[in-house]
Amino acid sequence: MADLSIGDLAARTGLAVSAIRFYETHGIVQPLRNAGGHRRYGRADIRRLSFVMAATGMGFSLADVAAHMAHLPAHKAPTKADWSRISRNFRGQIDARIATLERLRDRLDGCIGCGCLSLKSCRLHNPADIMAKDGPGPRKLIAD
């Protein structure tokens, strides 16, 4: 009920209209169309987009977010259980990221103390658990 135009949705989420259309190409929202071909959204889409904003704003990729949201029903409003499951999954990723940041912070604290004068002992210089598993390359250092 009370379907929204793309402009309404933009106004309510703070996103640009173009961004909402872009997210649609990633399957994050799947609006219906009215007689004239204009997109019509439900209220649940406000929440979807808020979730996307929060997650991408924290540095998670759209692909990541889209993968989580793929578990939500397409056109009917997600249930409490739907959102709960997503929240729990995503929470794991957030916790992982916090842990990594805390490790980095602790290392920097160590550097403040040691002055980083010893290459061998400096933990910043050997960030083994920050760096990815498969060989050199800066690819996806914080991949979950």
Partner DNA sequence: CTAATTCCTCAAGTACACTTGAGATCAAGA
Partner DNA sequence: TCTTGATCTCAAGTGTACTTGAGGAATTAG
With CB cut-offs between 5 and 8 Å by kind, which of a copy of itself, DNA, none does residue 84 bind? a copy of itself
141 contacts a copy of itself (rule: CB under 8 A): yes
Distance between CA 117 and CA 105 in Å, rounded? 18
Nearer to a copy of itself, 32 or 96 (CB): 96
37 contacts DNA (rule: CB under 7 A): yes
Span interacting with a copy of itself, options 1-9, 28-36, 63-71, 105-113, rule CB under 8 A: 105-113
Distance of closest approach, residue 121 Cβ to a copy of itself, in angstroms: 12
First to last CA, the chain: 38
Distance between CA 2 and CA 15 in Å, rounded? 20
Distance between CA 3 and CA 94 in Å, rounded? 32
102 contacts a copy of itself (rule: CB under 8 A): yes
Using CB under 7 A as the binding rule, the residues of this chain from 41 to 60 that contact DNA are 56
2 contacts DNA (rule: CB under 7 A): no
Span interacting with a copy of itself, options 1-9, 31-39, 65-73, 91-99, rule CB under 8 A: 91-99
* Long-range Cβ contact pairs of 22-25 (< 8 A, separation 24 or more): 23/49, 23/52, 23/62
135 contacts DNA (rule: CB under 7 A): no
Nearest to 87 by CA among 43, 48, 29: 48
